[in-house]
């Protein structure tokens, strides 16, 4: 903080951050080590800090013990459906709320935002009944459907369009473009950062969600990874190293996404703060 300190290395700060950081990542490191150990090593006292030989076969074993591949595909399909759906629907609605004039706009927008103030449990049972009526239980469509419609994404996109200069649209209109062409060819392509925030938040929520898929997708081979993992430990022949391997693989895609797109993900998460 002081001028003197910025000029020389701050050992205290680095020591504190390293120790704190080590505590934060310990579970991940330990998970990785356990996933490469034998069952005996995982359950040994005192703990076996490093396996005698790395048990790589725990990873292929995951695919034999649970329908991991199916669950992975389901999770990925649901996540893609929600991200694509939200980007399109939230951008369209956000654009209308930001730039168009129509009767009842203020009330309609307030109503959409009010969704955010109601805890999710209020929606769950009727949502389940709708999915059941549609015959969508245990389908990707059923798991993805309610999450495609997002009040928060609409709010973010509206804020984004409000902050864009009007001159671009005026020019397009003079060229004879209709509102859809203006939106789709000019405004949407210029919305990269906001779209990426919506995409990242949606991907995180969708990939990691437990309660909704737990309710609507109860078949082992048609549900998501989160549900598959949560039921894995209930089986009484739990094979701990394999369970660790499965949970590590389930988290890996988002971790890679985070490490590759670190700045974008942090910005996206900072937005999620506004959800309150």
Footprint (CB under 8 A) of other proteins, residues 143-172: 145-146, 148-149, 151, 154, 166
What is the Cα–Cα distance from 257 to 207, expressed in whole angstroms?
12
What is the Cα–Cα distance from 241 to 42, expressed in whole angstroms?
7
Q: How far is the CB of 269 from other proteins (least distance, A)?
A: 5
Using CB under 8 A as the criterion, what x/- string covers residues 193-212 for binding other proteins? -----------x--xx-xx-
229 Cβ contact partners less than 8 Å away, ≥ 6 residues apart: 243, 246, 247, 250
The label of the residue with tokens 């209709």 reads 178
Is 140 a binding residue for other proteins by CB under 8 A? The answer is: no
By CB under 8 A, the count of residues binding other proteins is: 102
Residues 13-32 contacting other proteins, CB under 8 A: 13-14, 16-17, 20-22, 24-25, 27-28, 30-31
Residues 171-190 contacting other proteins, CB under 8 A: 178-180, 183
Q: Which is nearer to other proteins, 54 or 111 (CB)?
A: 111
Q: How far is the CB of 250 from other proteins (least distance, A)?
A: 5
What is the Cα–Cα distance from 247 to 44, expressed in whole angstroms?
21
Nearest residue to 95 via CA among 30, 202, 189: 189
Residues 79-138 contacting other proteins, CB under 8 A: 88-90, 92-93, 95-97, 100-103, 105, 108, 111-112, 115, 117-130
Q: How far is the CB of 260 from other proteins (least distance, A)?
A: 11
Q: How far is the CB of 60 from other proteins (least distance, A)?
A: 19
HSE-CB of 237 using CA atoms within 13 angstroms: 2
Q: How far is the CB of 56 from other proteins (least distance, A)?
A: 19
What is the Cα–Cα distance from 18 to 170, expressed in whole angstroms?
53
Q: How far is the CB of 156 from other proteins (least distance, A)?
A: 13
The label of the residue with tokens 């934060």 reads 24
Here the tokens at position 109 are 């927008």
End-to-end alpha carbon distance in the chain:
31
Q: Which is nearer to other proteins, 64 or 101 (CB)?
A: 101
- Torsion angle in degrees (nearest 10) through CA of 179, 181, 182, 184: 110
Q: Which of 42, 62, 156, 199 binds other proteins (CB under 8 A)?
A: 42
Q: Which of 11, 46, 110, 176 binds other proteins (CB under 8 A)?
A: 46
Residues 233-262 contacting other proteins, CB under 8 A: 233-234, 240, 243-244, 247-248, 250-251, 254-255, 257-259, 262
Q: How far is the CB of 83 from other proteins (least distance, A)?
A: 15
Q: Which is nearer to other proteins, 179 or 221 (CB)?
A: 179
Q: How far is the CB of 190 from other proteins (least distance, A)?
A: 17
Which is it for the CA torsion 35, 37, 40, 45, positive or negative?
negative
226 Cβ contact partners less than 8 Å away, ≥ 6 residues apart: 75, 207, 208, 209, 210, 213, 214, 250
Nearest residue to 230 via CA among 35, 144, 78, 220: 220
């Amino acid at each position: 903080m002081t001028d003197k300190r910025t000029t020389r290395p701050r050992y205290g700060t680095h020591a504190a951050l390293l120790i704190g950081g080590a505590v934060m990542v310990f579970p991940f490191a330990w998970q990785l080590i356990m996933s490469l150990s034998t069952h005996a090593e995982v359950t040994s006292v005192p703990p076996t800090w490093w396996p005698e030989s790395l048990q790589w076969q725990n990873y292929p074993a995951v695919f034999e013990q649970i329908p991991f591949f199916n669950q992975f595909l389901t999770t990925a399909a649901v996540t893609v459906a929600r991200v694509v759906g939200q980007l399109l629907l939230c951008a369209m609605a956000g654009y209308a709320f930001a730039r168009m004039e129509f009767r009842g706009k203020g009330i309609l927008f307030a109503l959409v935002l009010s969704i955010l103030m109601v805890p999710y449990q209020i929606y769950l049972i009727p949502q389940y009944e709708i999915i059941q009526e549609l015959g969508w239980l245990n389908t990707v469509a059923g798991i993805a459907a309610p999450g495609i419609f997002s009040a928060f994404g609409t709010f973010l996109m509206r804020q984004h369009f409000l902050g864009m200069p009007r001159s671009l649209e005026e020019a397009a209109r003079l060229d004879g473009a209709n509102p859809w062409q203006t939106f789709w060819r000019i405004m949407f392509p210029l919305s990269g950062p906001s779209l990426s925030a919506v995409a990242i938040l949606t991907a995180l929520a969708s990939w990691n969600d437990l309660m909704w898929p737990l309710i609507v997708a109860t078949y082992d081979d048609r549900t998501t990874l989160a549900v598959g993992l949560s039921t894995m430990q209930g089986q009484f022949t739990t094979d701990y190293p394999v369970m660790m391997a499965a949970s590590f693989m389930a988290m890996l895609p988002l971790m890679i996404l985070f490490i590759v797109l670190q700045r974008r993900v942090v910005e996206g998460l900072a937005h999620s703060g506004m959800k309150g």
